[in-house]
A and B are shown apart, each in its own frame.
Chain A
């Protein structure tokens, strides 16, 4: 089961800033575990950022993104109380999402 996500969305001066943290190993498939076996690839591939249900950022990412990824995005507009949804899906088909209200 996917680990916790955390998100902060704040509005200031006409822009909505979103910072989202995700729990994910982002394994490259090149790392060896303590027994010497290769840990298989396991990483987020797609992420969507939605404002009030409408996709505003579409991301494709790879194992080149750091473990427990943190992303910042910016949207022109939005308003306090609007809903931001960030959803991800990984190469194993696991997924997770989180909503936050713009503060």
Chain B
């Protein structure tokens, strides 16, 4: 069990020199060159084309929003409303949907192991890397016009500030004010356009500290764990709404992921 005490370690910026910030940026820039994320993209491509499930078909006809099998730009247009599921879905929820409807797998089986390990990434991680890579350079354009998309945005906005759990935490406890950091990492305020844009453009991402490819569903799940809240279900309305909220705030930013982070 990891001991995490974010409250204790949230410090404000005045102690943080500009030179240190520059060196950290240099670290991030150098680490971003030649990201191992590309290795997950290769895995993901193989999984996309691999026949699986009782129907023994691949995911190649999966409609991620731009048409069956259209991958280029699909990630940049997510999350969005899907009529065939009558809900807003993010990339991972949609992939799970295709695993069920195309491949004949059960939702339970398809999502039994969505968060992998450094030695054994999950299917979802590799697939996310692959699909996201095919939106490189395109402006983030999640769905915003459908009533359910607006609803998801409002739900995400409400969840962002909603305090709950044994510590009475909300996202804002860490991501609520400028100038905060945990240990050496600046905490982005995701209600601010510039921060949301940077986040939308660089997730999912390879984490060098864990050697894992981390997806947005995973990230939301882990935030909830850090806040000591009950675990959200994979692809839940809550996690999709939060992801939608962040990506909509960051819309327009050209996608430059999958990212490579600390």
Residues in chain A within 8 A of chain B (CB atoms): 3-6, 19, 21, 23, 25, 66-68, 70, 72
CB < 8 Å neighbour of A70 from B34, B42, B43: B34
Pull 30 A–B residue pairs with CB atoms less than 8 Å apart, ordered by A. Answer: A3-B39, A3-B43, A4-B39, A4-B42, A4-B43, A5-B39, A6-B38, A6-B39, A6-B42, A19-B33, A19-B34, A21-B35, A21-B36, A21-B38, A23-B36, A23-B39, A25-B118, A25-B211, A66-B208, A67-B118, A67-B211, A68-B36, A68-B39, A68-B211, A70-B33, A70-B34, A70-B35, A70-B36, A72-B33, A72-B34
Complex: chain A residue closest to B45, CB-CB: A4
CB-nearest residue of chain B to A67:
B211
Which B residues lie at the A interface, using CB under 8 A? 33-36, 38-39, 42-43, 118-119, 208, 211
Residue ID in chain B nearest A4 by CB atoms: B42
How far does the Cβ of B202 sit from chain A's closest Cβ, in whole Å? 18
Please indicate the chain B residues that have their CB under 8 angstroms from the CB of A67 in the complex: 118, 211
Cβ-defined contact, A21 with B119, below 8 A:
no
Q: Which of A3, A5, A68, A72 is most buried by chain B, counting CB atoms within 10 A of its CB?
A: A68
Tell whether, in the assembled complex, residue B208 and residue A21 are in contact, meaning their CB atoms are under 8 Å apart: no
A-B contact number at CB 8 A: 33
A2 CA / B38 CA spacing, docked (Å): 16
A66 and B206 CA atoms in complex are apart in Å by 14
Contact in complex: A25, B42 (CB < 8 Å) = no
Q: In whole Å, how far is B178's beta carbon from the nearest beta carbon of chain A?
A: 32
Give the shortest distance, in Å, between B225 (CB) and chain A (any CB).
16
A5 to chain B: which residues have CB within 8 Å? Answer: 39
Residues of B within 8 A of A68 (CB): 36, 39, 211
* Complex contacts, A23 vs chain B, CB 8 Å: 36, 39
Which partner residue on chain B sits nearest A27 by CB separation? B119
Instruction: Give bound CA distance, A19 to B208, whole Å.
Output: 18
Contacts of B39 on A, CB cut-off 8 Å? Answer: 3-6, 21, 23, 68
With CB as the reference atom, state the residue of chain A lying closest to B119: A25
